[in-house]
Structure 1
Amino acid sequence: MENKKSLALFFSLIPGAGHLYLGLQKKGLQIMVAFFGLIALTDWISLPIIGMFIPIIWFYSIFDVRKAIYNPQSCEDNLNLSFDFIHVKYLGYIFIIIGVMAIFRNVIFPLTHIHIDWQITRYIRTSIISLIFIAIGSKMLLDNRK
């Protein structure tokens, strides 16, 4: 049993892997997708400020595996995020702010120096993901008004 605890703690260094090892597949996959998805998103839209959430997910994963090892009755296989009106409203604002920041940082500011080369694809990519964030945030805010 002690070997299983040690291995679970070792696997917890990769976000979600410790949960997968303990048999908490849903939670492990949710954490893994959030962690690596956030890394990919940070790189894709070139907005390093989003990367500040990466260590939060990593530490949450480590401490949650530790909690699941020593208190298995308290752990569930889902993250159980509650999205009531206030939280969704703030999440919507965050999506809009991230989208606007990405457009300004990666499209508007660089266009003032007008480079017509490989960066155009980067501008288009950033514009698309930024508009998606703005649309998601706007939809969340409008849906909660009803």
Structure 2
Amino acid sequence: MNRKNGFWTFCFAFIPGGGQMYQGYMKRGLSLMSMFMFVIFLSAFLGMGLLSLMLPVIWAYSFFDTFNIHSQTPEQAAQNPDDYLIDVSGLMGENGRRLLSRRHKLIGWGLVVLGVYALYANFVRPALWNAVYAYDLTWLQWLLDSLSTLVVAVLLVVLGVYLLKGGPARQNPDEDYTAFKGGEEQ
């Protein structure tokens, strides 16, 4: 690994993930950029400004990680290969892969929800805003302003209750098992 220019390393370090990419760690840089942009998207989409408090943490990690990579010896660089910071396949695990391979309906419902949201955002919502302005419907204005946050909040509560209940009841395979006690000779 050849050493990169210190001035350009410093300049690129200010861009989350940019310094890693300049150093040749493309996967790590892409991970950091994606995390940074995802936090911006979520905080804007959900209207939760508190979520943006994660941005300085991601930025600082990216900034200092750039200089840690820059100061590595060739032996350390060989031991620290480029990889994504979050391994999605590892998060899903074998059960997640099996679920997706058997349950295509899950993907289908996700696409339906995204399609319905796109239709709402691009066609229904503008028409409703026209009604708000034409008829001075303040209650509809309030509903339109907070609908996305309301939907996400309800989904989070439903998911939390589902997880607290433990999901669907599973039958223990050991309950249906009777041990052989041996036959008695008569």
Equivalent of 2:152, from 129, 135, 138? 129
Partner residue, 1:5: 6
Name the CA distance, whole Å, in 1 between partners of 2:48 and 2:17: 24
Provide, for residues 91-122 of structure 1, a one-character-per-residue CA deviation record: whole Å limited to 9, x for no partner: xxxxxxxxxxxxxxxxxxxxxxx933444333
Shift of the alpha carbon at 1:62? 0.3
Secondary structure, aligned partner of 2:139:
coil
The verdict on how the C-alpha distance between 1:40 and 1:19 changes in structure 2, with shifts beyond 3 A counting, is same
Aligned equivalents of 1:62 and 1:14: distance in 2? 8
Q: Show structure 2 runs of 5+ residues with no match.
A: 92-136, 171-186
Structure 1 pair 56/123, CA: closer, same or farther in 2 (3 Å)?
Answer: same
The amino acid that maps onto 1:21 is Y
TM-score normalised by L of structure 2: 0.49
Return the structure number with greater relative CO, CA threshold 8 A, min gap 6: 1
For 1:26 and 1:33, the matched residues in 2 are separated by 10
TM-align CA RMSD = 3.2
Q: Which amino acid aligns with 2:144?
A: T
8 Å CA contact 2:18, 2:29 repeated in 1: yes
Task: Using structure 1 for the length normalisation, give the TM-score.
Answer: 0.61
Cα distance in 2 for partners of 1:13, 1:124 equals 36
Say if 2:35 is the partner of 1:29. no
The one-letter amino acid of 1:42's match is S
Query: Compared with structure 1, are the counterparts of its residues 71 and 37 closer, same or farther at alpha carbon in structure 2 (3 Å cutoff)?
Result: same
Number of residue pairs aligned between Structure 1 and Structure 2: 114
> Matches of 1:140 and 1:69 in 2, distance apart?
43
Q: How does 1:91-110 map to 2 (within 5 A)?
A: none
Q: Which residue of 2 aligns with 1:70?
A: 71
Farther off after superposition, 129-138 or 22-31: 129-138
Name which of 79, 85, 102 aligns with 2:85: 79
Report the CA distance between 1:140 and its aligned residue.
Answer: 7.0
TM-aligned CA distance change 1:135 to 1:8, over 3 Å: farther
